[in-house]
Amino acid sequence: MPDYKAPLRDIKFVMNELLNGEQHYASLEGAEDATPDMVDAIIQEGAKFSEQVLSPLYQVGDNEGCTWSEDGVKTPTGFKEAYQQYVEGGWPAMTADPNYGGQGLPESLGIVMSEMVGTANWAWGMYPGLSHGATATIDLHGSEDQKQVYLTKLISGEWTGTMCLTEAHCGSDLGILRTKAEPNADGSYSITGTKIFISAGEHDMADNIVHIVLARLPGAPAGTKGISLFIVPKFLPNEDGSVGERNAVACGSIEHKMGIHGNATCVMNFDGAKGWLIGPENKGLNCMFTFMNVARIGTAIQGLGAAELSFQGALAYAKDRLAMRSLTGPKNPEGPADPIIVHPDVRRMLLTQKAVAEGARAMIYLAAMQADVVHRGKDEAARKEADELLGFLTPIAKAFLTEIGYEAANHGVQIFGGHGFIAEWGMEQIVRDTRIALLYEGTTGIQALDLLGRKVLMSQGESLKRFTKQVHVFCKENADNEQLKEFIEPLQAINKEWGDITMKVGMAAMKNREEVGAAAVDYLMYSGYAVYAYLWARMAKVAQDALANGTSEEAFYTAKVQTARFYFKRMLPRARGHVEAMLAGADSLMDMSEEAFII
């Protein structure tokens, strides 16, 4: 199995050299503790925990899985102990509100930690990861009493949290959910219904689990306008904050899944469980979506993690595995064959993995820093600008990165050949674990509709223009840079084309609204390749400047430029196919009648 090694040099490159992390943190309200020394110490310690504690449990979780019984769910060997170390290290509190026990550091530092944790062991990382949604919900919408009781325990890590949204009949269409909330005389509510696909819904790692549940009040309006949000704990808290009697919520079963076996995906039964309303009645979805951008960025990390871990495993194997001779003559003349890294097709796959992982890191950290500004910016205009940019980038990051991250994971299996299909190497586990990322927090199709329909067309293209203007400014500033010409010219071209094709799709949609759904996924993928082009051009500039100024890390910066060149020559051309497909129209999809779909 791949031994995860945190890519600290590239993490620091993106944070400090590409995105000017020191200046960024200095500009935020209440981020005085995020000094360069503090940031570096956090990253170093996070890397040690991820490499030494979590990575060795990666295959353990896959092999053992979780075990259900009427008494609860038992997690794989070592998971509970690792969580105790995580809590003792203060990691759950890192970015949380100091008023409730948090350390108050910027959210983007939490994203860096989530990357390392998730890449080392995604199934384990989902247990504390799911608490983020519950924590954010209570922090933003809970009463002061709710914060004192629940938020403090979630922040300390003593308790974990879940988001109980999905039901068997509705999936992402939450407007037709059936879970009911009946008011009690004491101001609480009696919650009855069944939720499915609840990650970390039951486990043995923490003293209590706080479920955030969507349900309907009596007489609530139909559809999404009649959904409310409730806190429903596994154990009812005592007045002193300790764990009290068991609530009427239980895990009915755990799913038998393709991957992430170490995380319990639960069917949760609420049988008149006691819960408390969060936020206003019938505004549950509004409350939930206030933190959804950050949650979806968290999901995008799985695409990054899959590409990074698969690349690390495949690179080591490609340097060691001997097979055939180089077409230009032996590169290992003393051996019976050459290492497979000399072969062009193996390099194609390795460079794709590298370009995907490093581009994903840049996109996710850029989005995370926008979230920092939204929550801590000192200027209202800057906060608004960052919020709009974050909203635009979120569906691209979530869907595009999980799609190409999954592709990169498959390349890892391919590089190993037949050995990649064998479980002991660990490469096929990455593929299985990653497949879910394309589904949860909204499928690729749902994210694509959000991007094209809601973010771009409903804003009359303003959200797109806001981003393409940044790209235009970068290109204009570097128009005379001969070294960057190979990147700037294609970047300028796709940046202009992006607006042109958006107008064409929008005009077609005015005649037939099905055109939006027909074009959406290709539009999202095209947008992802365009954003990557911008980020890789910027990374190439930073690297070229470092090389021009003299550096002791010539190999690192040279590789960065060469990876940018590979991206522009070998991956960006994929965007052309997406243009042809999205402009082909909806007829080829919609003309066939349902009856004509015959087996």
Kindly give the residue spans of alpha helices, DSSP state H, lying in 181-323: 284-289, 292-320
Instruction: Yes or no: say if 24 and 139 are a contact pair by the CB < 8 Å rule.
Output: no
Q: Which residues contact 553 (CB under 8 A, 6 or more apart)?
A: 546
* Torsion angles phi and psi, residue 232, rounded to 5: -135, 100
Other Cβ atoms less than 10 A from the Cβ of 503: the count is 11
Look-up of token digits 């919900």: 137
Instruction: Yes or no: say if 568 and 539 are a contact pair by the CB < 8 Å rule.
Output: no
Domain definitions of the chain by residue range? 8-289, 292-442, 450-588
- Encode the chain (599 residues) as per-residue pLDDT tens digits: 789 999 999 999 999 999 999 999 999 999 999 999 999 999 999 999 999 999 999 999 999 999 999 999 999 999 999 999 999 999 999 999 999 999 999 999 999 999 999 999 999 999 999 999 899 999 999 999 999 999 999 999 999 999 999 999 887 777 789 999 999 999 999 999 999 999 999 999 999 999 999 999 999 999 889 999 999 999 999 999 899 999 999 999 999 999 999 999 999 999 999 999 999 999 988 888 776 777 788 899 999 999 999 999 999 999 999 999 999 999 999 999 999 999 999 999 999 999 999 999 999 999 999 999 999 999 999 999 999 999 999 999 999 999 999 999 999 999 999 999 999 999 999 999 999 999 988 899 999 999 999 999 999 999 999 999 999 999 999 999 999 999 999 999 999 999 999 999 999 999 999 999 999 999 999 999 999 999 999 999 999 999 999 999 999 999 999 999 999 999 999 999 999 999 999 999 999 999 999 88
Rounded (10°) angle between helices 574-582 and 485-511: 10
What is the helix, strand, coil percentage profile of the chain, to 5?
Answer: 60, 10, 25
Look-up of token digits 């979506």: 289
CA atoms within a 13 Å half-sphere pointing along the CA-CB vector of 363 = 36
d(CA 104, CA 93) in angstroms, rounded, equals 8
Q: Is the pTM of this model over 0.85?
A: yes
Look-up of token digits 């007829």: 587
CATH architecture of 292-442: Up-down Bundle (1.20)
Pair of tokens at residue 209: 């689990």
Full DSSP string of 94-143: TTS-GGGT-----HHHHHHHHHHHHHH-HHHHHHHHHHHHHHHHHHHH--
* Torsion angles phi and psi, residue 112, rounded to 5: -60, -45
Other Cβ atoms less than 10 A from the Cβ of 442: the count is 19
Three-point CA angle 345, 351, 354, nearest 5°: 150
d(CA 488, CA 482) in angstroms, rounded, equals 9
Instruction: Yes or no: say if 62 and 123 are a contact pair by the CB < 8 Å rule.
Output: yes
d(CA 551, CA 9) in angstroms, rounded, equals 14
In our burial notation (b when 16+ CB lie closer than 10 A, e otherwise), range 355-372 reads bbbbbbbbbbbbbbbbbb
Instruction: Yes or no: say if 192 and 161 are a contact pair by the CB < 8 Å rule.
Output: no
Chain centroid, CA 569 distance in Å: 27
Instruction: Yes or no: say if 416 and 437 are a contact pair by the CB < 8 Å rule.
Output: no
Report how far apart the first and last C-alpha atoms of the chain are (Å, whole number): 41
d(CA 261, CA 255) in angstroms, rounded, equals 9
Q: Which long-range contacts (CB under 8 A, 24 or more apart) does 342-351 make?
A: 346/318, 346/415, 348/570, 349/314, 349/411, 349/414, 349/415, 350/311, 350/314, 350/315, 350/318, 350/411, 350/415, 351/563, 351/566, 351/570
Position 388 scores a pLDDT of: 95
Three-point CA angle 410, 263, 96, nearest 5°: 105
Instruction: Yes or no: say if 110 and 42 are a contact pair by the CB < 8 Å rule.
Output: no
d(CA 96, CA 94) in angstroms, rounded, equals 6
In our burial notation (b when 16+ CB lie closer than 10 A, e otherwise), range 293-330 reads bbbbbbbbbbbbbbbbbbbbbbbebbeebeeebeeeee
Task: Give the catalytic positions in this structure.
Answer: 441
Number of H helices, E strands in the chain: 22, 11
**Please, what sign has the CA dihedral across residues 271, 295, 282, 161?**
positive
What value does the CA radius of gyration of the chain take, rounded to a whole number of Å? 24
Class of domain 8-289: mainly beta
Other Cβ atoms less than 10 A from the Cβ of 580: the count is 9
Position 296 scores a pLDDT of: 86
The closest of 487, 318, 497 to 417, measured between CA atoms, is 318
Instruction: Yes or no: say if 58 and 120 are a contact pair by the CB < 8 Å rule.
Output: yes
